[in-house]
């Protein structure tokens, strides 16, 4: 227990969460005892504000795994507590924000299985949910601080500020704003205003010490003087992140802010603003950063980091969510595998870690395999078919028809692949059969017994009039009478059939090959046998 806040968290967790068998969550008020002082507790529960959390991406590109994890922690918390999950678009950086990015982010969130209760398009009682549509609100609040003398106009130009900063650094002083414009007289200000000199609005930083009680880190303390007066409204009238985040979180009645540690230093600015407005801040929880292999903050240069890329590479959203949840959070049990409903049930903020975590592709891959193997036929078809079609476009009609052959083909690889994108390469053998110049086959059939088995089986299979899985096996297995058995029998058969020494189980493969004979691009068993005799026949 880090502090009193934690205590309360745990209590409410017990009382507000209910899981039905289907894994859906319904908030209920089950009153059962938890603590000696249950009367006081009940009172507290009734006074407890509903959980309202938000994910607030800036739409400047794809959804990044770091952002996805932040969104996930918020979403899991909301769903666990029967609260609301709000999507807010932080697009005050007009130069970098695009509607296209916003769409991609939303698309990726949905793919991961996260839905939101309030947000752009769907609306809600606290909208609008795009910061670019809330300009009047920010302006009004900035002017309020201005009127109250808690903020002031700054007429310094960019060049002047840069010079001041450089000089401060040269003299190894803190590069804080020096407060030049704070000393401006009222007449000077009016003159500049009349002359149309552009200005920003700066927040006058109080000379106080601050302590933040973070749900994950406990008390975080700042001494006075760590911060210079910072800009809240740009000269073009656009508000700055640290300002609108406070205004919005308050107006949207956000109860908990769960975000990455990179925002921890910013929180000081924010609690100053809450104080200036006389608002009660939400509870903060700062999760640690996700790092790349080199232990710096995960970014594009570490390779695939956008959620969309993982999807394209054949990762399952369930695996992604499972992995992301485990990156910086754990239930406290020796458990790695979770479905999404299981995560909702198990999640708690207080078990989020406070030390940075390296993104481990190996473990993600392993989890993907785990989730892949748990897929039902229907699910496997749904996620696998697109990859099949991408590799073999001529299968499009079969997929459209939900032809069972597709499922049979997918099932051959279900236990073997790590990524769905391997499907193309793994099933290549169905549509290609090449023995000439195949060094592996030459070496294999250089062995006398292998060659003999292959020849015999090819001939006997070709002699079958109506090839079915049964008649196939009968013909192939008939060479047992010649003394072939075990590896000496199955290995040559595999080689004969696929032209390689590894691949799916023969038992699964034969029906796929037989029933796929009507697919023009598929190389039939007969053709395989004929080609074999052509290359390795007597």
Partner RNA sequence: GGGGCAUUCGUCUAGGGGUUAGGACGCCGGCCUCUCACGCCGGAAACAGGGGUUCAAUUCCCCUAUGCCCUACCA
Among 246, 252, 291, 349, binds RNA (CB under 7 A): 291
Q: For the chain, what's the residue count?
A: 538
374 flagged as catalytic: no
Dist. CA 357–CA 35, nearest whole Å:
35
User: Measuring CA to CA, which residue among 223, 241, 235, 226 is closest to residue 175?
Assistant: 226
Cβ at position 43, least distance to RNA in Å? 30
d(CA 67, CA 263): 13
In whole angstroms, how close is the CB of 291 to RNA at the nearest point? 6
515 binds RNA (CB under 7 A): no
Q: Output 44 or 422, the one with its CB closest to RNA.
A: 422
Q: What angle do CA 152, 154, 156 make, to 5 degrees?
A: 165
Catalytic residue among 40, 103, 140, 300: 300
d(CA 259, CA 54) in angstroms, rounded, equals 9
Looking at residues 99 to 128 of the shown chain, list those that interact with RNA (rule: CB under 7 A).
none
Residues 76 and 112 sit within 8 Å (Cβ to Cβ): no
32, exposed or middle or buried, with CB in 10 Å at 0-12, 13-18, 19+?
A: exposed
Stretch that binds RNA, among 23-31, 110-118, 355-363, 514-522 (CB under 7 A): 355-363
* Segment 176 to 235, residues that bind RNA, using CB under 7 A: 176, 198, 200, 217-218, 220-223, 226, 228, 230-231, 234-235
Out of 11, 12, 357, 407, the only residue in the binding site for RNA (CB under 7 A) is 357
Identify each DSSP E strand in 199-282 by its residue range: 200-203, 210-214, 218-222, 230-233, 256-260
The correct pick among 38, 167, 180, 296 for binding RNA (CB under 7 A) is 296
Q: How many CB atoms lie under 10 A from the CB of residue 40?
A: 10
Interaction between residue 330 and RNA (CB under 7 A): yes
For the bound state, the minimum distance from the C-beta of residue 155 to RNA, rounded and expressed in Å, comes to 8
- Round to whole Å and give the CA distance between 142 and 244: 10
Quick check: 376 binds RNA (CB under 7 A)? Answer: no
Rounded to the nearest whole angstrom, what is the least distance from the CB of residue 175 to RNA in the complex? 5
What H or E segment, with its residue span, contains residue 286?
Answer: strand 283-287
Site track for RNA across 228-267, x = CB under 7 A: x-xx--xxx-x-xxx------------------xxxxxx-
Instruction: Indicate the Cα dihedral angle 219, 222, 223, 228, nearest 10°.
Output: -160
- Are 458 and 451 in contact by the 8 Å Cβ rule? The answer is no
Smallest separation, CB 365 to RNA (Å): 6
Based on CB atoms, which residue is closest to RNA, 48 or 330? 330
Residue numbers 407-426 binding RNA by CB under 7 A? 415-416
Query: Among 17-25, 322-330, 428-436, 445-453, which window interacts with RNA (CB under 7 A)?
Result: 322-330
Min CB(450)–RNA separation in Å: 11
Q: Which residue from 20, 172, 185, 376 is in contact with RNA, where contact means CB under 7 A?
A: 172
**Residue 350 binding RNA, by CB under 7 A:** no
Residues 6+ apart with CB under 8 A from 224: 207, 208, 209
Residue 98 makes contact with RNA by CB under 7 A: no
* Shortest Å, Cβ 373 to RNA: 6
DSSP code for 393: G
Tokens of 153: 């106009």
Nearer to RNA, 44 or 93 (CB): 93
| Cα dihedral across residues 61, 216, 110, 337: positive or negative | positive
Q: Which residues contact residue 169 at a Cβ distance below 8 angstroms, ignoring those fewer than 6 apart? A: 175
Considering only 35, 49, 140, 373, the residue that binds RNA (CB under 7 A) is 373
Among 70, 74, 101, 288, binds RNA (CB under 7 A): 288
The distance of closest approach from Cβ of residue 42 to RNA in the complex, given in angstroms and rounded to an integer, is 29
Local structure of residue 284 (DSSP, 8 states):
E
Judged by beta carbon, residue 98 or residue 415, the one nearer RNA is 415
Interface with RNA (CB under 7 A), residue from 362, 448, 466, 481:
362
Interacting residue with RNA among 17, 74, 80, 92 (CB under 7 A): 92
Sheet containing strand 230-233, strands side by side: 151-154, 200-203, 230-233
Which member of 390, 462, 506, 533 binds RNA (CB under 7 A)? 506
User: Whose Cβ is closer to RNA: residue 295's or residue 442's?
Assistant: 295
Residues 43-62 that bind RNA (CB under 7 A): 56-58
Residue with token string 């099932």: 411
Which of these ranges, 359-367, 448-456, 462-470, 519-527, lies near RNA under the rule CB under 7 A?
359-367
Near RNA by CB under 7 A: residue from 26, 376, 502, 518: 502
Give the integer Cα–Cα distance in Å for 471 and 477.
10
Q: 440 to 499, contacts with RNA by CB under 7 A?
A: 486-487, 490-491, 493-494
- Counting residues that bind RNA (by CB under 7 A) gives 84
Site for RNA, residues 141 to 170, rule: CB under 7 A: 156-158, 161, 165
How far from 214 is each of 125, 256, 257, 282, 390, CA to CA, in Å? 28, 10, 10, 10, 47
Q: Taking CA 240 as the corner, what is the angle to CA 234 and CA 243, rounded to the nearest 5 degrees?
A: 120
Calpha distance 461→442 (Å, rounded): 21
Which listed residue (326, 395, 457, 512) binds RNA by CB under 7 A?
Answer: 326
CA angle 407, 412, 413 (to 5 degrees): 105
Among 501, 521, 527, 534, binds RNA (CB under 7 A): 501
Nearest CA to 319 out of 361, 378, 258, 259 is that of 361
Q: Which of 44, 93, 253, 459 binds RNA (CB under 7 A)?
A: 93
Half-sphere exposure of residue 117: CA atoms within 13 angstroms, side-chain side: 16
The answer to the question of residue 272 lying near RNA (CB under 7 A) is: no
Q: Which residues are catalytic?
A: 300
């Amino acid at each position: 227990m880090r502090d009193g806040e934690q205590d309360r968290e745990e209590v409410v967790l017990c009382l507000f969460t209910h899981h039905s068998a289907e894994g859906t969550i319904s908030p209920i008020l089950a009153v059962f005892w938890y603590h000696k002082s249950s009367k006081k507790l009940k009172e507290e529960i009734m006074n407890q504000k509903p959980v309202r959390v938000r994910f607030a991406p800036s739409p400047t590109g794809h959804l990044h795994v770091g952002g996805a994890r932040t969104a996930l922690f918020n979403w899991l918390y909301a769903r666990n507590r029967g609260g609301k999950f709000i999507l807010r678009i932080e697009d005050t950086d007009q130069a970098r924000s695009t509607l296209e990015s916003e769409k991609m982010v939303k698309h990726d969130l949905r793919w991961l299985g996260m839905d939101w209760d309030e947000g752009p398009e769907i609306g809600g009682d606290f909208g609008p949910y795009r910061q670019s549509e809330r300009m009047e609100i920010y302006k009004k609040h900035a002017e309020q601080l201005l009127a109250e003398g808690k903020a002031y106009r700054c007429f310094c130009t960019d060049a002047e500020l840069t010079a001041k900063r450089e000089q401060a650094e040269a003299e190894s002083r803190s590069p804080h704003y020096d407060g030049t414009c704070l000393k401006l007289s009222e007449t000077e200000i009016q003159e500049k205003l009349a002359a149309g000199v552009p200005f920003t609005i700066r927040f006058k930083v109080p000379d106080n010490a601050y302590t933040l009680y973070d749900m994950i880190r406990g008390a975080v303390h700042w001494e006075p003087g760590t911060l210079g007066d910072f800009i809240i409204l740009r000269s073009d009238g656009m508000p700055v992140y640290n300002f609108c985040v406070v205004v919005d979180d308050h107006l949207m009645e956000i109860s908990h802010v769960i975000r990455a540690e990179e925002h921890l230093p910013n929180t000081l600015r924010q609690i100053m603003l809450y104080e200036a407005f006389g608002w009660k801040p939400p509870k903060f929880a700062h999760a640690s950063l996700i790092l790349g292999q080199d232990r710096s903050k995960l970014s594009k240069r570490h390779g695939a980091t956008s959620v969309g890329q993982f999807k394209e590479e054949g990762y399952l959203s369930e695996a992604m969510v499972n992995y992301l949840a485990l990156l910086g959070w754990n239930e406290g049990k020796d458990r790695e595998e979770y479905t999404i409903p299981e995560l909702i049930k198990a999640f708690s903020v207080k078990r989020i870690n406070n030390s940075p975590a390296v993104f481990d592709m190996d473990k993600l891959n392993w989890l993907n395999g785990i989730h892949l193997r748990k897929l039902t036929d229907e699910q496997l078809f749904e996620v696998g078919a697109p990859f099949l079609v991408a590799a073999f476009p001529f299968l499009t009609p079969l997929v459209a028809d939900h032809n069972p052959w597709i499922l049979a083909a997918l099932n051959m690889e279900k236990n073997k692949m790590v990524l769905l994108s391997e499907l193309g390469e793994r099933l290549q053998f169905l549509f290609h059969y090449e023995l000439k110049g195949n060094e592996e086959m030459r070496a294999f059939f250089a062995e006398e017994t292998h060659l003999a088995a292959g020849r015999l089986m090819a001939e006997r299979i070709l002699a079958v009039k109506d090839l079915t899985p049964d008649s196939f096996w009968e013909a192939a297995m008939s060479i047992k009478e010649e003394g072939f058995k075990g590896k000496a029998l199955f290995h040559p058969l595999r080689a004969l059939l696929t032209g390689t020494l590894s691949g799916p189980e023969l038992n699964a493969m034969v029906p796929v090959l037989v029933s796929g004979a009507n697919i023009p691009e598929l190389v039939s068993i007969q053709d395989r046998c004929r080609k074999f005799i052509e290359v390795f026949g007597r």
